[in-house]
Structure 1
Amino acid sequence: MAGDDEFDRWISPIEMTLNTLTNKKVRGNSIVDIPEHLKKSNMKAYKPKVVSIGPLHRKSSRELLYMKEIKWQCMLSLLHRLNPTDDQKVVPPKRLKDCGEVILKYDEAVRACYMDPIELDRHELAQIMLVDGCFLLELLLITNDKQLNGEPKSKFPVKVSKREEFLSDLKLLENQIPLFIIDLLYLKLFGQKSEGIPNIINGYALYLFGCSSGRPIISPNRAHLLELTHWFLTSRQIEAKPDQERSAPETVVELTIDPPDHEHMESMDIWLRERDERDKKVSKETTPKLERCAARLQAAGVKIKTFYGKNRSSSKLEKDPVSVMFGCKEKFEQGVLEIQSLCITEETELQWRNFIAWEQTRSAEKTWEQTGTPATEKKFSQYALLFKGLVCCEYDIELLKSAKVLKVHDENKWSNEKVNKFIHDIAEGIQIDASADPKFCEMINDLNSCDKGCCRFIMFKHCCRILLTKARKFCRYLYRLLMRDYCSTPWQTLGVMAAVLLLFLTIAQTVLAAIAL
């Protein structure tokens, strides 16, 4: 029955995608192509520079080819981990075959994790998942070896000078593979309980990124490395109990993808109807907007200072400003706006942009209790909107720097004008449902309405600075226009100079003639 076989091949991916909607281990449509309106301000921020992971950027540039051989070397090192005495140049055929079979088995589940169709056959896609999955697992184990023993069994795969770019590449939204691939490989190679493996991988990955101590961590949100890091930085992390850590099982438990039952589908249908009814009532302009910049807030009597939290000291903030930036904490009480310090570097820009892209591609709804679908906090999007409202000119940047709310790693690369442009570019295209986070919207409304007595001198001074800034930008625009259209060659430049001289002489002649009368 050729017709039935063709129909089964067509319907099977659709069925798998539907099954992953309510599955806690495999997240459907979790790896997406970032929308153009978010990418257009800086296209390079979403492309890998050192290493490509997954099928989306496998042929993006020649610079990434260097890591191809290193991936294969890491894969060979991983396959030899159980028996280090084996000949390191010989591939263990049974382990390789076991890993290949289990990856090939989940071809449809892998495809369901990507929003757009993958134009590769099942064997090509399985090879990418196998090589990249083994590479990432070996990388996590190398990091864990160094933590436990002080010296890893294998060297870190990239040079120290490229380490920051390498780690940033692992947190790009389009540069991901599903985390359950790493779980499957760990399960097949080391035979741990499937229930505890995600917690172990969580701890290893967060330790690699410098976020935790490396202990197993329970996370409901872990479609890929970017979401795991995002969840850790925006939510309260939970360390796994000792009985959820490593323990040798009597039998190996397979990773299963169960279809949603009838009750789940009914609850999903009810939830969708309620959401549609609620969307009709909500205005289109739901994104909260701060209408006062830092100088205007200061003139209104609002004090801006760094948010330290209950257990943080200023000395700790000074030592590690980059990690503090990703806390995204802000608070407004009794006329004092506290904002967690933002340190701008090239690496933090890349991560911030990709965190925002991840938030903007996820649902703004709360957790789906009946189905177990986790919600995505939009802290980084809120943080970007807050800074966009605070900064309207370069003077606001100086004000935030003096309050230690804004820090720049390299003053030569990040001038005040460039920082101003970056803050406005990164917030472009961000949409936040006001009903999703009422606390943030309430804070914005309080800031917009707060008035403790306006200082007119500060406002006059600020308005003068804004006018000077706009005049300076207009003069620069005229200068660029002049150099491009009228002074592109030496002869054109001489002609312009002659015209200016004639104009000056004509004006002088007119003035002298008027004086003589």
Structure 2
Amino acid sequence: MVKSLASSPKHCCIHKVSDHIRKSNEEAYTPQVISIGPFHRNKNRKLQKMEDFKLRYLKSFIDRAETKLEDIVSTIKGAEESVRECYSETIPLVSDDFVKMILLDASFIIEYFWKNKTKGNWTEYDLEILNPWLCNRMHMDLILLENQLPFFIIEKIYDTAFPSSSEGHPFIELSFCQFEYYNYQKFDHEKFVHHDPDRDSGSSGIFILHFTDLVRNFCMPPYESWRPKRSAKSLKEMYSAAQLNEVGLKFKKRESINNNLSTLELKYADGVLEIPPFQLDSSTEIYARNLVAFEECHYRSDPYITDYYIMLSMLIKTVKDMDVLVREQIIDNWLDGVVATSMINKLYMSGEKSLYIEMNSHYQQMAEELNEFYKARVTYLQIMMAIVKRDYFCNPWRGAATIGGILLLLLTVIQTVCALISVKN
């Protein structure tokens, strides 16, 4: 049986991000270097340079193809209706223009992925245009929810154009190579299949709808290990990392033997919260926001990525909370502490923050147990001692300075008392 939610021919999978989400960071959902698909086509003049570059790659693609261009165009035309139905809005392009757009964008993706995998097929013009900054930003543009082609149509075009390669080196293999940075769990591409509306949906494997969906699936643990259901309860609040740490909770970096643990698999037991390590950098917000937006549109009953960022936002409310997780090497933070904390807190918010928070049953139970741990351990004296330890004895130098300050204060008091006694005598 299929292991994930699949679109039917009448069920779109490429969505426009709703205004109440995108208003917090418009740029995170908007391509900055290259437009793919219809939503941002001809919307921004700064993307025109890459349109010219696409035409070069189309020529390269046609030159390499093992079949006639007419056959490739016929393949696209045969799937046109299914492709259109993948978009959340009606695409106002006549058939010929729509087919040209799909051909141009898909051929660019195929050629770019192929060159990136083989490494030895870059031209001098490629190297002149594709500087490191542009490649990094284009990599991010290719996972934006609004900037997608259905995976199945790219694969159809690839299989038609390169039948000799499609068996031994299918397009999914090229895609895995392109997005290997996100494949934390070292998934095998053979376990993944595309969703083709024109074929039987009874295939075994994990359906891939587009690149945003591929990256989301890289985050997801295998079904047999961790896929909790939605909780029937809701949570109002949870104590933060610094608060929990002050009353004795231990934070630990969770790792597996093969280092292929999903970042979603938090574990709590006996006063120890284990969190898989993750990195915060300039691309994290774009990556996270698009996955959360995709879940709001397409995976509303199973928003595991959204739940994860809700959990993080409850643990990380201030820079002190961030510092706790950085200190324990759970977070590799490449950003300013204030910026990173603000980003985490805003990732899951869609409009106004809800009074009650819903999560999957695993996180829900964990949050309740952490709250119980805090309430059972907290006393006024414990809080004061923990604050003193955190603020004045967090390292040997701070501790020495604190002790020195206390001794200086005591000596000053003694000196003052002695001086008053001398005056009276």
Q: Is the structural similarity TM-score above 0.5?
A: yes
Q: 1:189 aligns with which of 161, 176, 189?
A: 161
Per-residue CA deviations over 1:226-281 (Å, capped at 9, x if unaligned) read 1012112213399xxxxxxxxxxxxxxxxxxxxxxxxxxxxxxxxxxxxxxxx9xx
Aligned partner letter, 2:150: P
Tell me, in whole angstroms, the C-alpha distance in 1 between the residues paired with 2:361 and 2:15. Answer: 28
Q: 1:441 aligns with which of 357, 364, 367?
A: 364
Per-residue CA deviations over 1:414-459 (Å, capped at 9, x if unaligned) read 332222221211121289x999832222212211222452253563
Change (3 A) 1:193 1:135: closer
Do the aligned residues in 2 keep the contact of 1:293 with 1:391 (CA within 8 Å)?
yes
Tell me, in whole angstroms, the C-alpha distance in 2 between the residues paired with 1:237 and 1:139. Answer: 32
1:165 match = 137
1:61 match = 44
1:218 aligns with 2:192: yes
1:105 aligns with 2:26: no
1:41 match = 24
Tell me, in whole angstroms, the C-alpha distance in 1 between the residues paired with 2:28 and 2:146. Answer: 11
Aligned 1:445-460 pairs, distance under 5 A = 445-451=368-374, 453-454=377-378, 456-457=380-381, 459-460=383-384
Do the aligned residues in 1 keep the contact of 2:84 with 2:91 (CA within 8 Å)?
yes
Do the aligned residues in 1 keep the contact of 2:247 with 2:383 (CA within 8 Å)?
no
SS in 1 for 2:37: coil
2:177 match = 207
Q: How many residues align?
A: 357
Q: 1:145 aligns with which of 118, 142, 148?
A: 118
Aligned partner letter, 1:152: N
Aligned partner letter, 1:132: D
Per-residue CA deviations over 1:157-202 (Å, capped at 9, x if unaligned) read 62222221110110000000111111111121123698x69x9222
Aligned partner letter, 1:223: L
Aligned 1:23-422 pairs, distance under 5 A = 28-82=11-65, 95-146=68-119, 151-152=120-121, 155=126, 158-191=130-163, 200-210=170-180, 211=183, 216-219=190-193, 220-236=206-222, 288=235, 290-312=237-259, 327-365=263-301, 377-409=302-334, 414-422=335-343
Tell me, in whole angstroms, the C-alpha distance in 2 between the residues paired with 1:25 and 1:203. Answer: 24
Tell me, in whole angstroms, the C-alpha distance in 1 between the residues paired with 2:386 and 2:20. Answer: 32
Do the aligned residues in 2 keep the contact of 1:33 with 1:115 (CA within 8 Å)?
yes
Q: CA deviation at 1:291?
A: 1.5
2:407 match = none
Q: Looking at both structures, which has the greater relative contact order when contacts are Cα pairs under 8 Å and sequence separation is at least 6?
A: 2
Do the aligned residues in 2 keep the contact of 1:50 with 1:64 (CA within 8 Å)?
yes
SS in 2 for 1:57: coil
2:391 match = none
Tell me, in whole angstroms, the C-alpha distance in 2 between the residues paired with 1:458 and 1:357. Answer: 41
Structure 1, gaps ≥5 residues long? 1-21, 84-93, 239-278, 313-322, 366-376, 465-517
Aligned partner letter, 2:383: M
SS in 1 for 2:268: strand
Q: CA deviation at 1:25?
A: 8.6
Per-residue CA deviations over 1:11-40 (Å, capped at 9, x if unaligned) read xxxxxxxxxxx9779683100011122212
Per-residue CA deviations over 1:289-326 (Å, capped at 9, x if unaligned) read 551011221234321122222333xxxxxxxxxx99x7
Do the aligned residues in 1 keep the contact of 2:246 with 2:383 (CA within 8 Å)?
yes
SS in 2 for 1:308: coil
Aligned-residue RMSD, C-alpha: 3.4
1:91 match = none
Aligned 1:420-431 pairs, distance under 5 A = 420-429=341-350
Q: CA deviation at 1:405?
A: 2.2
Q: CA deviation at 1:328?
A: 3.0
Tell me, in whole angstroms, the C-alpha distance in 1 between the residues paired with 2:339 and 2:359. Answer: 32
SS in 1 for 2:263: coil
Tell me, in whole angstroms, the C-alpha distance in 2 between the residues paired with 1:193 and 1:311. Answer: 31
Tell me, in whole angstroms, the C-alpha distance in 2 between the residues paired with 1:113 and 1:458. Answer: 57
Tell me, in whole angstroms, the C-alpha distance in 1 between the residues paired with 2:108 and 2:178. Answer: 14
1:266 match = none
Tell me, in whole angstroms, the C-alpha distance in 2 between the residues paired with 1:33 and 1:208. Answer: 24
Tell me, in whole angstroms, the C-alpha distance in 2 between the residues paired with 1:26 and 1:205. Answer: 23
Do the aligned residues in 1 keep the contact of 2:242 with 2:321 (CA within 8 Å)?
yes
TM-score (norm: length of structure 2): 0.74
TM-score (norm: length of structure 1): 0.62
Do the aligned residues in 2 keep the contact of 1:330 with 1:337 (CA within 8 Å)?
yes
SS in 2 for 1:119: coil
Query: Sequence identity of aligned pairs in percent?
Result: 23
Change (3 A) 1:384 1:138: same
SS in 1 for 2:170: helix
Do the aligned residues in 1 keep the contact of 2:151 with 2:210 (CA within 8 Å)?
yes
Moved more, 296-305 or 343-352: 296-305
Q: CA deviation at 1:153?
A: 5.8
Aligned partner letter, 1:397: M
